[in-house]
Structure formats: C-alpha cells, structure tokens
Amino acid sequence: MRTPPRTPALLAAAALAASALVGAALPAAADDVGRPATSAACARPAVMGTTTIDVAFGGTTYPVQVHVPAGLDARRSVPLVLDLHGSSANGPVQARVSGMADVADDEGFVVANPSGAIPLAPASPPDPDGSWAWNVPGVPTTAGQLPPPTARDDVAYLTHVIDVVSERFCTDDRRTYATGHSGGGRMASALGCKASDRVAAIAPNAGLRAGRPDPADVSRPEAADCRPERAVPVVTFHGRPDVVNPYLGNGDLRWGYTVPLAAQTWADLDDCRRGPRTTQVAEHVTLTTWTGCRQGAAVHFYDLADGGHTWPGSDGPPHGPGLVSQEVDASRIIWDFFERYRLRGA
C-alpha cells in the first residue's frame, strides 16, 4: 500500500481544504453512513481486491477494472469513485497513475476504472489493455478528429457502468463521484455537466472543462453545453507548465479556454457567493476556493506553479510530460472533498 507523504505542506493543504468546506458540506447523520444492503439485489460478493468485470453496452461487452477493499460491512452500501484514464491509456494504467485503490483501502469505498472505446495510436511498447480515448461530447480527440457518429456514447456508457457496479458491489447511488486525468478529466467534467443527477461531485486533474469550447470563439465555454440540473461540487488540479492542456488555453476546439475561466465558470454555474479566495498551501501550490454556493456546493482549484501534465502526489507512471509534484497528494485531497457530498433524494 502506498503511504501518502505527510509533509507540512500537505497537512496544511488538507487542513485548508477541510476548513473551507465548513458550512458548505452535506454531513451524514450517524445512521446515514450507507444504505442497508440486506436484499438479494444488493449483496456484495465475497471477492475482494482488484478484479475485472464485463459490462455489456450497445451490443458490445467491455472490461472494467474494479477495486473492492477488504473488510467492508456487507450490510451497508459504500461510495463509488469512477477514476477515468487520460488519452492513449486505459483503466488499469489510470489505477496505477492515481493510486486511488490505496485510498479506497484506507477509507472504505469502491473504485471503478473503465476504459474508453476510441482507439488511438498505441504506446511503445504497446499496452496489453489498449490505447483509448473518451468520446467527450462535441470535441475532437487528441488525434485531432471528431469521433464518428457511431462512437460509443460515453456519458450513457459511464452512467451504465455506475448502474452495473452499484448492483454487483452494492455502492450507494447518492455517493458516486467522478475523477480523471487529462482526457479523463475532460470526461469527468462532461459527467458533471450532463449527468449531475448521477455524480455527487467531480475532480478533474489536468482536464477541467465547463462545457466544450464555443466553436465560434474557443476562448470561452459554450454555455448551452453545460447546464447541470443541480449545483456540482468541483475540486481540480492543474500545472501552469502543462504543455498538453495548456493552463492559459489554446485555439483548439479540443481544449480552448483557460483553466481559471473553467473554474470560475463552475463557480458561476453553482451560484457561489463567496470567492475567489486564494491561499498559498505549499511553496509551489495555491488553492483558490469559491464557497457559499447553491445546495452546499464548493469549487476548489489547486494551481501548481511547477506541475506538469501529471497526477500530483503519484508514485505511479506519470502518463504525461513534466514534473510530478509531491507537495500535495491529489488522490487523498480528492477523497477528503468527495466524502462531504451526496446527492439529495437519490
């Protein structure tokens, strides 16, 4: 199991994140930890650890890696985190990048690592689990082309993955979350925009969007492309030297507008009344927060002055160029943020 770094900077970041959420979180009552799992339809199997399940969708069966911690209470449902890979990767690669399974073992939630279905040029040497991209609605892949009309609808597919994992492993529909790296971050953002009734919060790394770039002016988001049904809590990380998804944006319909504009747009969508408030949490990391948002949401933006197109705190493969910051542990911070939120009425 990976031991998270406990540097003063990391502890300061976690403390600031927690204090910023006071009053904005939706805390569970003592008897609301998870829904009872007593029916035959919700009986968690005895298998624990990392496994692969088959998910049928649209006439095709896809493998999905799932991690189930040992020692879960079989009588209670548990949270689910969708952890989405970047372009030219796959679910098992992302599991190694984020190390989210280690956090799950400590905190008691299930992790699902599905894979995209749009083939990209393989790495060298090729990965046995393939090289894939997500069908992020309305934007090209990193290959520079829009997905064909026959491409899998990944918003629909991922909500189906949620249903299948929930049924097989007894996860809580109110406590389902989405994170991801790069293209997976853009896909997690799309789930926040288009499936806010299914994910309680999102955490894109190196990929936050608030709708696709406006084709008429890619320096701003297309407002009609992101109209969530509810306020969506967001925590995100981005390195200023990122050369893949540039911090200051580019002229590409795949990426477009700046990361600060993406964060501010989510704060506007969530009707946040306080912020932006920026605090230095480590030598090269600032945290900008928006709070007092509708339905108790919040937006947290970790700005890494020296971070590359990488997962902060990772000790796995970087899957992107640039420095892997060790000043903050993204996976631990993401879970600390996620566990404060749940869907109402689900």
Q: What is the CATH number of the domain that holds 207?
A: 3.40.50.1820
pTM, two decimals, is 0.90
Domain that holds residue 317: 8-26+36-338
Nearest in space to 23 (alpha carbons), one of 200, 273, 203, 192? 273
Amino acid, single-letter form, for residue 4: P
**Residue 334 falls within a domain, yes or no?**
yes
* Residue 57 covered by a domain: yes
E strand or H helix that includes residue 91: helix 91-98
Indicate whether 239 belongs to any domain. Answer: yes
Q: Quick one: pLDDT at residue 75? A: 79
Is cis: bond before 36, omega within 30 of 0? no
**Number of other residues whose CB lies within 10 A of the CB of residue 28:** 14
Angle at 288 between CA 188 and CA 89, to 5 degrees: 30
Residue 2 falls inside a structural domain:
no
Phi, psi of 64 (to 5 degrees): -130, 120
Distance of CA 2 to the CA centre of its chain: 20
pLDDT at 124: 79
182 part of a folded domain: yes
Contact 132, 184 (CB under 8 A): no
**Phi, psi torsion values for 8, nearest 5 degrees:** -55, -35
Cβ–Cβ contacts within 10 Å for residue 335, how many?
22
Inter-CA distances, 175 with 142, 170, 178, 287, 318, Å: 31, 11, 10, 25, 28
User: Considering the domain boundaries, does residue 1 fall inside one?
Assistant: no
Looking at the domain assignment, is residue 31 inside a domain? no
Count the domains in the chain: 1
Does the residue 345 lie in any domain? no
Given this model, what pLDDT does residue 34 score? 53
CA 245 – CA 248 distance, rounded (Å): 9
Residue 346's pLDDT is: 55
Q: Side chain identity at 200, as an amino acid letter?
A: A
pLDDT in tens, the chain (346 residues): 333 333 434 444 443 444 343 333 353 333 344 554 444 456 787 778 999 999 999 999 999 999 999 989 887 899 999 999 999 999 999 999 999 999 999 999 999 999 999 999 887 788 999 999 999 999 999 888 999 999 999 999 999 999 999 999 999 999 999 999 999 999 999 999 999 999 999 999 999 999 999 999 999 999 999 999 999 999 999 999 999 999 999 999 999 999 999 999 999 999 999 999 999 999 999 999 999 999 999 999 999 999 999 999 999 988 999 999 999 999 999 999 999 999 987 5
Which is nearest to 100 in space by CA: 189, 187, 205, 240?
A: 205
Give the tens place of pLDDT for each residue, 198-240.
Answer: 999 999 999 999 999 999 999 999 999 999 999 999 999 999 9
